[in-house]
Amino acid sequence: MNNQTTVSVIMPAYNAEKYIAQAIESVLCQDVPLELLVIDDCSSDCTVEVAKQYADGKKVVLICNDRNQGVAESRNIGIRRAVGKYVAFLDADDWWRAGKLKAQCQKLEESESVICCTGRELVNPDGTSQHKFIGVSGQITYSMLLRTNSIPCSSVLMETRVAKEFYMCHDELHEDYILWLRVLQKYGAAIGINEPLLLSRMSQGGKSRNKLKSAKMQFGVYRYMGFGVIASCYYFLMYAINGVRKYSA
């Protein structure tokens, strides 16, 4: 891609043959100059074959890992290859509504923020709506983010230079949450578009769907960020309360 590329979309994929076509097509209908980097992490199904139907080596680039590296490092491979002013993340089982990237680019151009997220609509594994919208605040501070991870990874658009400063780490924790915290800690608040521009598939196999495992990961994030046991317990309590509110509203 040339320097006219505005957004580099990074899509890690693992055994996503049933969903990846919809995800790719939702990227290709966005009305901004973009490249799509699909990083297959050694899928054992037909994910690669489906992705190859779209890959042209220019606008859509398929990258196949030679060994399974996990979602964090797969996204990092995309970040390293990105040439756009911004990077966007989209998991292969989620998809976007038309106009998402354009709205976010405009928001970031009008603000001093380096990261923008959107609200999301929850959908079932078969793609039907759960008729539940989880919104976002117009501004998300570091302090707010410590109390709940209100930034959905598949909704994020951020400056590429910032993504290349931090990258993602600790796949065994919430690797995206760590990145958002580190970015906000240095660069200030994120901005949010309170519209369901992301369709988020609630698949049963996601690591965040296992509540006990997710809770342990969340506590691990606080410890990784340098908080002591008492402070980590306090923020974990806030996370638990906000989680109940988020999904029961």
Mean per-residue pLDDT over the chain, rounded: 92
* Per-residue model confidence as pLDDT tens digits over 114-169: 999 999 999 999 999 999 999 999 999 999 999 989 999 999 999 999 999 999 98
* Per-residue model confidence as pLDDT tens digits over 170-186: 777 888 999 999 999 99
With 0.85 as the threshold, say if the pTM is over it: yes
Going by DSSP bridges, is the β-strand pair 190-201/115-123 parallel, antiparallel, or unpaired?
parallel
Structure tokens, 14: 């693992």
Structure tokens, 50: 């489906």
Number of Cβ atoms within 10 Å of the Cβ of 200 = 22
Give dist(CA 169, CA 72) in Å, integer.
Answer: 6
Q: Is 31 exposed, middle or buried (0-12, 13-18, 19+ CB in 10 A)?
A: exposed
Write down all domains in the chain, each with its CATH number in brackets. 7-203 (3.90.550.10)
In angstroms, what CA-CA distances link 246 with 120, 134, 148, 217, 240?
12, 7, 10, 18, 10
Give dist(CA 33, CA 170) in Å, integer.
Answer: 31
Instruction: Provide the percentage of residues in the chain whose pLDDT is more than 90.
Output: 77
pLDDT band at 248 (very low <50, low <70, confident <90, very high): low
Dihedral angle sign, alpha carbons of residues 136, 5, 90, 77: negative
* Per-residue model confidence as pLDDT tens digits over 49-98: 999 999 998 899 999 999 999 999 999 999 999 999 999 999 999 999 99
